[in-house]
Structure 1
């Protein structure tokens, strides 16, 4: 371990700090806080808020503010899904939770083990590698640079809203070209008193879940926490079960000029992996499986701390850091093939990855000018990770300890130092926001052991798998962007942004453990340049329209070509259902995002009503994506559907009643960058419905139907052993009972 890395880890262990402060907006006072922050924003003064990446204290409550805390959002386009507008979601149904975010593709995982998201066709969605995933603005991934896999999803019942910064415009949060998604949890309680909540749910395939939370405050000191447990058999007939425990505790100091939050998050999930299906087997029985013994377990422990200091009326300082320990352990039967049942006699291969990751984030914002109409924000981030890999072979199909011998040992480490800044120049109704980010990255991956599996039915590890991998990479990467916001009137705003993003090399680039997938010996990092221009209009009180045009130039995409492929140095031959992972070329993705919200009934709708409102919200992305150079030249990038449409019809009652009908339509998709027919994913349409109704004494009852019309479809396909089509879940039901007091 390098001395700078050790210093960062030591500092984080002492501080127990976080990369950004949790959201400090209590639900009962959110409207009042939104109004006061909007007034401060309009006058150019600083509203002191220890906040998440985006605070909904803005023009409409679900659009970006011009600035919040040490963050500037003027000149950027983003989206917010307010989960309090729909009934609580007791499952990991991201299709429902993210329905109000245009263009964010949910590639559904049937066992719910991880989030699989992508945006504007910028790469394979598997484990959300191209998007920065955060919880309360803290990176919720094993490593935000070298392994940004979306293994952790907070309980959606505990999420207040989901926030998304589009594409490369998120320079102040990380380099990922696909944008930043942030799950903002409820709380803390600001008003003096105590509040408790509980919810139980049961549903199809023996689903059982429960969540209990407690929050207390005296107005200055506050504490809150929750525990959630969920288990079930899952939609597939064999090996689709899950068991998850999520817990969080926080303590807050809510002073007038200083706020501080200390938090501890814990998550443990165990999942069966039923495997993919061939197209024929998918058509015959979508609930079938191919890997009856494969398993995966995820464990995360993340203590965090954040401090925000309002140094003066014009200056705000935040000091933040984070530490997390992720353990990812998987068991896969040797000798599997694409879409077919793995022979039962084959032994298990255990792969264990451990991630110790830490970071410190320092930021300051200063408002200046005769009426404080300008703002400057500067910051630095120090980040380090250590992530060894251990691969062992079992002696049988029931040996989960790997007693037959070691197959691979890999040491991996990385350190990053980033400096960034933006300045918002307020020129009347126009804001101009230039920004920069400079990354200094160091990564190292060293194989010390790499042996062939040997006999799939029990023979010991065999001869070496060629030369041992040894990769060391150091880069200095300058990134930049500029945004413009023009308020043409109180009901019409124009926003434009041009930004350059960067996708660092991953630990897995060049060292792969997936059977049936060959990998290039060297990879080049990928760069994205995004231009987007749009408007936000309110032509009438009941109607709001958002529209934008975008174009993304993405250089040196890392993807895969599906087999069969002949041997070509330095690659070996790849059979049908396998894949070759490499830089596949540069792409040009362009299109339009449209979003409409119409209040049909109250509060400002076409018709008036007492006690609630009926709202229709619809968003549509039209996408034209093509590779323009490289080995995939002329092909359509994988997971870049020509259209993605979502519509939500929601009843939002003032007494807590909620009901929603959500429609999703996804166009045809390619599952491989060379558009092999075996990986083609036909388009599909899905309808979901949910309701939550208060009864008496603080109790409420709820119910929901997912995939109401029982659409048969597959939203993702994976190459290699155990791969194949992952079928979307059939129609399912759930009921729930909740209490709040």
Structure 2
């Protein structure tokens, strides 16, 4: 992590506070409309706190459908603002994962969230991730990222129970003209730049546009990345109505990708260099994705507002890569030293359409009573096309087949995909529709805030002619009690569901099956003490995930040649999260965050078979996480130095191989004067070799990035 400096004592107090979940306990949320900044004796003397509150804390979160100050919400939402993204030099979603308590890297854009694997991403509250398949979301056109923890079926419909990401995109602003240009230069031949401009056009119109390009080598052999994002939008505001139109083009060329891991031994140590790559120099993963989005906001009356958002995405991801298919001993000396490879030629295309509408009515009922009611509906349709073919090699060099690859002395360029005897392409088509209608009520009785909601969902999945339809009802209830303006107690219950994979709905296997379900019971305390100088958040939760599919221990029950499945089982995740941030001195700030999680199988049929489970543990679900961040400011020099660390305890892979714990440290040096800002950033300061997560034995663990450095210089106007 790193944070940015200003000309005077503008130390980034909440850099890691926001990143580590401390936005769940803001300094300035006041039940009676008072200002914490005005009540803080040092507010005018210590610019550090004021700047941090302005840049790293959000006054409201929107992922709960009702815009709410965090201290008044029973939800636990971590917000990462645009300023924090910038100060971290973050380029893609993977750069943010370790900043969110309860979230750790699993693979590509997937994470482990409170013990459960989670992959789906929302944009502006709607489904429609523009990164098809195995590409990782980029952050150039993202205003902030909100992570809503726990099951959220009542708010968003089908989803994993650990939480969900909501990416809020940048939009035109009619208030002022702004612009910025940046240039970056770093290790691994990293070079790039960006330009953005926002312009009020008069007559209620505004426009913004931006372009981002970066070319960088990746630390794995042969791997590289070229990313181009062109983003723009226009808005029109007239009276109580605002219309926003946006369009974005994403173009990525990733060399020698898609990346798998590096093989490990029985102790979880890499068998070879962490730079080893199973891909050939000519392999690639290319993405072209186009997004068009429109939104209408209308304040019909002072008490009634309506918004409607539509989002369309057309994305194509093409891949050629060599997949590791088995480790072996090539010379009979008893040491694993090579990998069989399979060549894969794949295309993934998706076309999605999302529509969401909300109406919010609010009223002051008098006598310290207030009420807000949300009525909403959303629709999502996704058509997907997978076309692929594959050819597996052997342990020997055979003409027309992919060659095996040495772990210790990989010889690239000696196998030619154009000479492979590839089979015909195989095509798979799918179409999914989701429709939801929901009602949410928030009642304020003095310092007590009660929330309750219900949602009805219907969904249809069609994969290669196999159709499955079902319905589900989900609920949410929450309570917040404002003990004082600086302390809130909260509790919540919520549930969620996920349809079973359509491929598992085969009647011959015992299908169709009802969706998996999940629910949470959570409670805690959020504080903003001493006017925000000491901030903390404490929460404890239990999440249950039920109705998971397992292999029927009786085998082929009907004698139809297909082994049966059975929907029976439960996984329980229990955890505690603690976050603290403090002003130690006017120039020295520090934060600390700790998360504990225990995810285990609590019911099964004796045969196991749960996805991502190994025995009674779950893959890549750490029991302990610890993060700290400290920064010291030299105001007279316009400089700041920062140092932080991230610890993740040991885990297991999907193949029950150990994934060892790690502690990684980072440092930053920042200089800022006037419109010019320069930053030197070092990641993995001590060049620690570690596995960020585990996968399966033949593909190995995903290695963490070695030490890297970059310099970024920007000019604002």
Report the RMSD for the aligned CA atoms in angstroms: 3.9
Aligned mate of 2:231, from 248, 254, 266:
248
Q: 1:521 to 1:418 in 2, by over 3 A?
A: closer
User: Would the aligned equivalents of 2:376 and 2:437 in 1 still touch at CA under 8 Å?
Assistant: yes
Tell me if 1:195 matches 2:178.
yes
After TM superposition, the structure 1 = structure 2 runs for residues 430-579 of structure 1, keeping only pairs within 5 Å, are: 430-446=448-464, 471-506=466-501, 525-541=515-531, 542-557=533-548
> 1:360 deviation in Å?
1.3
8 Å contact kept, 1:160–1:186:
yes
SS in 2 for 1:155: coil
| Secondary structure, aligned partner of 1:84 | helix
Say yes or no: does 1:376 pair with 2:366.
Answer: no
Residue matched to 2:310: 321
SS at structure 2 position matched to 1:172: helix
1:685 aligns with 2:682: no
Secondary structure class of the residue paired with 1:284: coil
- 1:299-348 CA deviation, whole Å, 9 max, x = no partner? 2211000000000010000111111112222223367325975557x6x3
**Structure-2-length-normalised TM-score:** 0.77
Query: CA, structure 1 residues 386+69, in 2 after alignment: closer, same or farther (shift >3 Å)?
Result: closer
1:337 to 2:326 alignment: yes
Unaligned runs of 5+ in 2: 1-25, 36-51, 329-336, 392-399, 402-414, 558-563
1:391-402 map, 5 Å? 391-392=388-389, 398-399=416-417
CA distance in 2, matches of 1:41, 1:352: 54
From the superposition, tell whether residues 99 and 336 of structure 1 become closer, same or farther in structure 2 (CA, over 3 Å). closer
SS in 2 for 1:171: helix
Kindly report which structure 2 residues correspond to 1:238-317, keeping only aligned pairs within 5 A, or say none: 238-271=221-254, 272-273=256-257, 274-280=259-265, 282-292=270-280, 294-317=283-306
For residues 324 and 580 of structure 2, the distance between their equivalents in structure 1, rounded to whole angstroms, comes to 50
1:685–1:60 distance in 2 versus 1, CA, 3 Å: closer
User: What secondary structure sits across from 2:155 in the alignment?
Assistant: coil
Q: What CA deviation, in whole Å up to 9, does each residue of 1:496-541 have, x standing for no partner?
A: 1100111233467689xxxxxxx99987632111111011123434
User: Alpha-carbon deviation of 1:275?
Assistant: 3.2
The answer on 1:615 being equivalent to 2:589 is yes
1:626 to 600, 605, 630: 600
Are the aligned partners of 1:291 and 1:342 in contact in 2 as well (CA < 8 Å)?
A: no
2:703 aligns to what?
727
1:635 aligns with 2:625: no
Q: Measure, in 2, the Cα distance between the counterparts of 1:614 and 1:476.
A: 54
2:115 equivalent to 1:121: yes
**Which residue of structure 2 aligns with residue 134 of structure 1?**
122
Q: Distance in 2 between matches of 1:521 and 1:332?
A: 35
1:666 to 642, 645, 648: 648
Counterpart of 2:73 in structure 1 is: 74
d(CA) in 1 for partners of 2:550, 2:138: 28
Contact 2:468 2:502 in 1 (8 A): no
Q: Following the alignment from structure 1 to structure 2, what is the Cα–Cα distance between the partners of residues 659 and 558?
A: 51
Query: Cα offset for 1:122?
Result: 1.1
**Which deviates more, 311-320 or 283-292?**
283-292
Match 1:716 to one of 693, 703, 713:
693
Retained in 2: the 8 A contact 1:169–1:498?
no
Matched residues in 2 for 1:150 and 1:335: separation? 17
Deviations 1:547-580 (A, max 9, x none): 01100111144799xxxxx99769xxxxxxxxx9
When residues 261 and 418 of structure 1 are mapped into structure 2, their CA distance, relative to the original with a 3 A threshold, is same
Rate the CA distance shift 1:196–1:115 in 2: closer, same or farther, 3 A: same
Shift of 1:69: 7.6
Q: Relative to structure 1, is the Cα distance of residues 321 and 653 closer, same or farther in structure 2, using a 3 angstrom cutoff?
A: farther
Further displaced range: 415-424 or 293-302: 293-302
More displaced, 652-661 or 279-288? 652-661
Alignment of 1:360-439 (within 5 A): 360-371=355-366, 373-392=370-389, 398-399=416-417, 404-439=422-457
* Equivalent-residue separation in structure 1 for 2:214 and 2:229 (angstroms): 9
In 2, the alpha carbon distance for the partners of 1:520 and 1:718 equals 29
2:201–2:207: 8 Å Cα contact kept in structure 1? Answer: no
Residue 153 in structure 1 maps to residue 137 in structure 2: yes
Displacement of 1:242 in angstroms is: 1.5
Matches of residues 81-96 of structure 1 in structure 2 within 5 Å?
81-85=80-84, 88-92=87-91, 94=93
How many residues in Structure 1 have an aligned counterpart in Structure 2? 617
CA distance in 2, matches of 1:656, 1:68: 39
2:95 and 2:344 map into 1 onto residues whose CA distance is 35
Which has the higher mean CA deviation after the structures are superposed, 527-536 or 34-43? 34-43
Structure-1 separation of matches of 2:659 and 2:92: 20
Flag the 1:643–1:248 CA change in 2: closer, same or farther, 3 A.
same
Contact 1:64–1:78 (CA under 8 A) maintained in structure 2:
no
Aligned to 1:594: 578
What is the TM-score when the length of structure 1 is the normalising length? 0.75
Matches of 1:567 and 1:716, distance apart in 2: 34
Q: 1:581-631: per-residue Cα shift (whole Å, max 9, x none)?
A: 997942111010111111223xxxxx4xxxxx5432222111122111223
Query: CA distance change for structure 1 residues 424 and 338 in 2, over 3 Å: closer, same or farther?
Result: farther
Instruction: Choose which of 204, 207, 216 in structure 2 pairs with 1:223.
Output: 207
Shift of 1:660: 3.7
SS of residue in 2 equivalent to 1:175: coil
Give the distance between the partners of 1:384 and 1:729, measured in 2 at CA.
Answer: 37
What is the CA–CA distance in structure 2 between the aligned matches of 1:67 and 1:440, rounded to whole Å?
A: 22
Q: 2:22 maps to what in 1?
A: none
Instruction: Give ranges in structure 1 of 5+ residues lacking alignment.
Output: 1-33, 44-55, 447-469, 512-518, 561-565, 571-579, 602-606, 608-612
Q: Which residue of 1 aligns with 2:163?
A: 179
- Alpha-carbon separation, structure 2, partners of 1:399 and 1:76: 51
Distance in 2 (alpha carbons) for counterparts of 1:286 and 1:583: 40
Q: Deviations over 1:71-120 (max 9, x none)?
A: 5673222122335257534454656534542211134x6xxxx4232211
Answer yes or no: is the 8 Å Cα contact 1:37–1:58 preserved in 2: no
How far apart, CA to CA, are the structure 1 residues paired with 2:338 and 2:200? Answer: 55
Question: Do 1:492 and 1:538's aligned partners in 2 also have CA atoms closer than 8 Å?
Answer: yes
User: Following the alignment from structure 2 to structure 1, what is the Cα–Cα distance between the partners of residues 126 and 588?
Assistant: 34
